[in-house]
Structure 1
């Protein structure tokens, strides 16, 4: 592996609490119906968007998508773009090219066209949207292309491998973490990173992965989400990924939802 690490995998496997395999089976039996995708994707989209400071309330957005209730465009445009990106991801395999297209979709009302799906060329400081506090400094611009190439090489390798359920969750979280630390785009990185995590899960586990309420879990525990990112350090080139375990353990806990 070029940028991901298995150094924490053994400890991750031995974590007490959630039996991922059993929880997935219960999810498949309880929630997955032909009409469920729009509902659970609505929850995923609006909670992921609210982590980034979008003002629309969760219940209102669900009414908008499920009951076709009309709201002001400035409230719905960016969440709806993200919703379309989730549909695109569900209908396409995870590749570098498809992910770039998904970023173009989710940033239609966020970035000018020439920056959609294109890596940034400037420095990037990552801030918590609710407080405005600086969280960390993302990868320097001259490293972004190379770091993302490493990440996609690792993702492609993992997609070709047979992974256990625990390994799949571990690497999905690690992909999410590395992507957010690189922060490769001018905007939309948080939303894209959470979609990338879910997309990887779906390619490895199938359709049921789209019903895992990971985005909702991160939103409900947003302080821990940012705190666990902060544990790694402030500057990208000095990040300590041996401290990543608290972040990696958040995804399985989303199965409790």
Structure 2
């Protein structure tokens, strides 16, 4: 098997910028809409949204790699780093590390990408690890860096990265390309093309012993932020995670050749979908504010507690809707009280009701 980095013209990727002009226009249009919508939220909600989006990306970029972390712990860690009040819970090293990396990405998106930045991110991500040889530095092991699946006796090799002895040189070339391809740079590239190539190129080098996927996605988000002059705060990892199989298939189908048109198209669509997800989240927050203005004084303590919990699920809400049993569990109310509470909320228009008997479900009465 020949990999793209073994080809004579590596890393001169082949694509036609004209093919992605429509996606580029959509990106900037949606970025403008997101920024405008963000301004319609009050300062406290803006701060909360910023924390929520960063937390979600931290959770989902880890989930893509099969690592399930505690969202509340990450949320608390991020709040602490922004100097906000927290619940002082104990944060596990992995959760603290990904939170630190995402906050650094947010704060320093304008700065050039350097080896020191990448190694610092790697050190954050591997916080508490004892199973790695190289932490906070490029890999040095002599064994091939391979992405493998299947049984021990019959492994399937999806990709093999350049040997460790080539990594420093490859990364020096990558960093030069990245910093020169920025807007108004020596070799400026269109925003989506640059972000897509940055991710694929980095993943093909696979410079670290672990954590390459999370760092690669962070590089893409840094690239997007640099292009619009502010943190993107889009749900990129969340969008990728919802279709994780397609993501890995797209990466694998573009690691053997230098023509990466399919990858750029795939990645551009992922970014546009992520923008849509974030737009829905902002619209949801605006509707949340309207909801509380209408109903806050009409709700008792039990109802308020349940409403707050449902809002925490985001614009998608509870899968299938809120059941009477959910209401009892959240509020601590007995069955008869829960039934009365729910009936009253439907009556005043706070909830809508669907289904009958055991299939009855309740939903927030907001625009989606």
- TM-score w.r.t. the length of structure 1 is 0.80
Mapped to 1, the partners of 2:252 and 2:192 lie a distance apart of 21
Match of 2:126 in 1: 107
Structure 1: give runs of 5+ residues left out of the alignment: none
Task: State the shift of 1:57 in Å.
Answer: 6.1
Task: State the shift of 1:26 in Å.
Answer: 1.6
| Matched position secondary structure for 1:19 | helix
Task: State the shift of 1:51 in Å.
Answer: 0.8
Out of 4, 7, 19, the position equivalent to 2:15 is 7
Out of 95, 103, 123, the position equivalent to 1:79 is 95
Mapped to 2, the partners of 1:91 and 1:57 lie a distance apart of 23
Task: State the shift of 1:69 in Å.
Answer: 8.4
| Matched position secondary structure for 1:38 | helix
Mapped to 2, the partners of 1:213 and 1:133 lie a distance apart of 31
8 Å CA contact 2:132, 2:209 repeated in 1: no
Q: Describe how 1:133-212 pairs up with structure 2 within 5 A.
A: 134-159=157-182, 161=184, 167-209=190-232, 211-212=233-234
Task: State the shift of 1:119 in Å.
Answer: 1.1
Match of 1:29 in 2: 36
* CA distance 1:110–1:240, shift in 2 (3 Å): farther
Aligned residues: 245
Match of 1:125 in 2: 146
Cα RMSD for the two superposed structures = 3.4
The more displaced of 59-68 and 141-150 is 59-68
Out of 226, 238, 244, the position equivalent to 1:216 is 238
Higher relative contact order (CA 8 A, sep 6+): 1
Higher helix share: 1
- Establish whether residue 94 from structure 1 lines up as the match of residue 116 from structure 2: no
